[in-house]
Amino acid sequence: MLKILSKILRTTTIRESRINDQIRSLAGFRPGNIDLYRCALTHKSLAGASTGDQIIDTNNERLEYLGDAILSAIIADYLFSVYPACNEGFLTKMRSRIVSRSNLNKIALKMGFDKMIIAHTVAIPNKKHIYGNALEAFIGAVYMDKGFCSCKHFVIKKIFRPHLDLDRLECEDSDFKSQIIQWGQKNKQEVCFESYELSEENKSNPVFVATIRIMDMPAGEGFGSTKKEAQQLAARHALKNLSS
């Protein structure tokens, strides 16, 4: 009995040590509340799964919500300092580009979140945005564990400086939905978006379809794992059709 207990404790200690090392390597500090970071890296696809001695009943959605708000505040403060002569419209557009799903996913993959996230393997291939979500959840965990100042330091030192190319983002305009709406206003053409979920059978891996109609005529269609993504792809398709 003592040997079994000793083996369990040793295995748990090794696992905890590995997680601590991963977080220290990623964030540059020793975590205080390890459970926060474990939760930040746990995708909802594992809800109800068993780890052998316990049932997983938490996921990173709440921390993602918190991290999204904290990240937005840090970005606003950062851009306000970096661009002292720019107006509110420019700052808002730059912030939107930084927190876009595609940009956060790229940053998360560069930081190695794909190797750390705990998720059902079936959910990963078609849900690339889970890495960006995990990054936001991790930021929420840092905020809860270390406070706002330390969280801001982590975001700027470990995310912005090595992975954020502001010059590239300044030249980028990937908000296709806004572009097609502006085109409609300029040309006095009514632009409508129609979106729906393709199938509700697989709740963990939904697919949305979006169609853009211009003057009640179909102009573009897009598919995505979120309604927003589908609308953006539909808008891009419509813009290509209009320019051809």
In this structure, which amino acid lies at residue 43? H
User: Is residue 183 classed exposed, middle or buried when 0-12, 13-18 and 19+ CB atoms within 10 A define those classes?
Assistant: middle
Q: One of 61, 114, 136, 200 is an active-site residue; which one?
A: 136
Q: Round to whole Å and give the CA distance between 98 and 82.
A: 14
> Could you give phi then psi for residue 125, rounded to 5 degrees?
-55, -40
165 is catalytic: no
57 part of the active site:
no
Check 61, 68, 172, 229 and give the catalytic one: 68
- Does residue 191 sit in helix, strand or coil? strand
| Alpha carbon 84 to chain centroid, angstroms | 28
Phi and psi at residue 200, to the nearest 5°: -100, 10
CA distance 36 to 157: 21
Give Cα separations from 160 to 32, 103, 137, 144 (angstroms): 23, 12, 17, 20
Structure tokens belonging to residue 184: 């409609």
Containing 212, the helix (H) or strand (E) segment is: strand 208-214
**Amino acid identity, residue 234?**
A
Q: Which sequence positions are flagged as catalytic?
A: 68, 136
